[in-house]
Amino acid sequence: MAFESLTNRLSKVIKNISGKGKLTEANMNDMLKEIRMTLLEADVNFKVVKQFIENVKEKALGKEVLDALNPSQMVVKIVHDEIIKLLGEKEVGLNYDKHHQTFVMMVGLQGSGKTTSVAKIANLIRNKQSRKPLLVACDLVRAAAVDQLITLGKQINVEVYFEQDSDALTVAKNALDYAKYKDFDTIIFDTAGRLEIDEVLMEELVNLKSLIHPHDILLTVDAMSGQNIVNVAQTFNEKLAITGLVVTKLDGDARGGGVLSVASVAKVPVKFAGLGEKIDDLDVFYPDRMASRILDMGDVLTLIEQAQDKMDVKATEKGAKRLMSGEFDLNDMLEQINQMKKMGSMASILKMIPGMSSMANQINMDDADKKMRKNEAIILSMTLEERRDPKILKGGRKIRIAKGSGTQVSDVNRLLKQFEQTKSMMKQMMSMSKGGKGMKMPNLGGKFPFGKRF
């Protein structure tokens, strides 16, 4: 996962400084030395690390911090704020033209996830920002690039403009006319990439830029390429004056040093981040939220937003009410499993809860996900009658269910025990509430129970 090793190391450093009764220049220097080594090992640019340490030291050794009641907490805040500065300070969306069509050029090297990112951004702005995007297939160099974009367009229900036996400039010019005629408000051009930067690639991109006059030129970079992100971003920026970065495969890089360096060195903000292979695994990049995750402070806002976007709130409320009323059955349990699957892996959920990142690393989260899938298979192997009334599940039925789900009878018994424990716990909670006004489901107003929509 992104920044995993960095998070683990920084958490230990912060825990150590928090245990000091008093902050001194000596233990502060020890902490800064550890942070410096941690950042360098995470592949953060050397100049960026040097400036980062100087900024933290200057602020942390100020009289206001040394005289504070809890100086260690103030130091953590300083480190947190400096990481936010490295990442770009605040989120930066697309540069929409409020009165006319908005044109976006997507550029990048082959293998960086450029074409997939085009579709992911179109999907995001269509569903969350009510835009009407058109995708334009201008990558006529890579074999099957046009077919890939067409397939992705069908998947997200977004139209793709393409031409056979043409060139990129002609396709772009005709697409502009088509977009105006069909009244699309956001046109995203998927351009050609190369295995490495060369004159032919840049000449084509410069010519496309002159024709399109884009409001945004987004460069896709692979988070797993480390410091090469900075080099690629600087080169493209010199030639095209790019306006933002789309970082892909952020979920696959345990160090993340290139991402921490690029905004500061290349002077280009990260606008979007890809955190998985699914079409909706991309979102606006929030520097403050990412800084909190790096310091194991969690990312509750993103967790809430994902829950609201991906989970069926009505189904969740219905299951909660049935659980409270004692009507909860295995159909409801199956629905709970389906809702959890929409949120992603257990590890990704835990890492967004403050202080839980280390636990996610200690516990085998793959096992937790496997158990959830196993429980789903067991319930799906039951009849509707058995799901509604698990008490009828005896020896023969259990053997049939185990065979049908590819599990053991012991797995079926374990699921049934878990189900009964859940119901028993809710009964106890209900009985405890009888002395007062009773336990009632809150009026959620169509929103997720633990917070308003941000």
Query: Residues 387-408: pLDDT tens digits?
Result: 988 889 988 899 999 999 999 9
Cα dihedral sign, 123-125-128-129? negative
Cβ-proximal residues to 255 (8 Å cutoff; 6+ apart), any chain:
3, 5, 6, 41, 42, 43, 226
**Residue ranges, the chain, pLDDT below 70:** 1-4, 17-23, 62-72, 252-256, 297-326, 342-368, 426-454
Residue 268: its pLDDT value, please? Answer: 87
Q: Do 318 and 273 fall within a single domain?
A: no
**Calpha distance 329→419 (Å, rounded):** 8
**Calpha distance 65→51 (Å, rounded):** 20
- Single residue among 87, 110, 138 that ends a domain in this structure: 87
- Sheet with 160-161: strands ordered across: 160-161, 133-138, 186-191, 102-108, 216-222, 244-248, 270-274, 282-284
Question: Quick check: is 445 in a domain?
Answer: no
Q: Which two tokens stand for residue 382?
A: 């039951």
Residue 449: its pLDDT value, please? Answer: 34
Which residue segment(s) compose the domain that 49 sits in? 4-87
Residue 308: its pLDDT value, please? Answer: 59
- Single residue among 276, 297, 318 that ends a domain in this structure: 297
**Calpha distance 255→273 (Å, rounded):** 15
Q: Do 428 and 390 fall within a single domain?
A: yes
Q: Do 161 and 217 fall within a single domain?
A: yes
Question: Quick check: is 189 in a domain?
Answer: yes
Q: Do 17 and 75 fall within a single domain?
A: yes
Length of the chain: 454
- Single residue among 62, 87, 112 that ends a domain in this structure: 87
Task: Give the DSSP per-residue string, 40-60.
Answer: HHTT--HHHHHHHHHHHHHHH
Strand partners, 270: 245
Residue 124: its pLDDT value, please? Answer: 93
Instruction: Name the domain count of the chain.
Output: 3
Q: Do 136 and 250 fall within a single domain?
A: yes
What CATH number has the domain bearing residue 218?
A: 3.40.50.300
CA nearest 372: which of 392, 343, 351?
343
Q: Do 289 and 384 fall within a single domain?
A: no
Q: Do 293 and 176 fall within a single domain?
A: yes
The count of other CB atoms within 10 Å of the CB of residue 196 is 9
What CATH number has the domain bearing residue 315?
A: 1.10.260.30
**Calpha distance 224→248 (Å, rounded):** 8
Q: Do 291 and 191 fall within a single domain?
A: yes
**Calpha distance 26→119 (Å, rounded):** 52
**Calpha distance 368→303 (Å, rounded):** 19
Strand partners, 160: 135
**Calpha distance 116→404 (Å, rounded):** 37
Q: Do 331 and 290 fall within a single domain?
A: no
Question: Quick check: is 97 in a domain?
Answer: no
Q: Which two tokens stand for residue 446?
A: 């169509």
Q: Do 127 and 274 fall within a single domain?
A: yes
Q: Do 127 and 257 fall within a single domain?
A: yes
CA nearest 53: which of 40, 72, 35, 76?
35
Q: Do 211 and 264 fall within a single domain?
A: yes
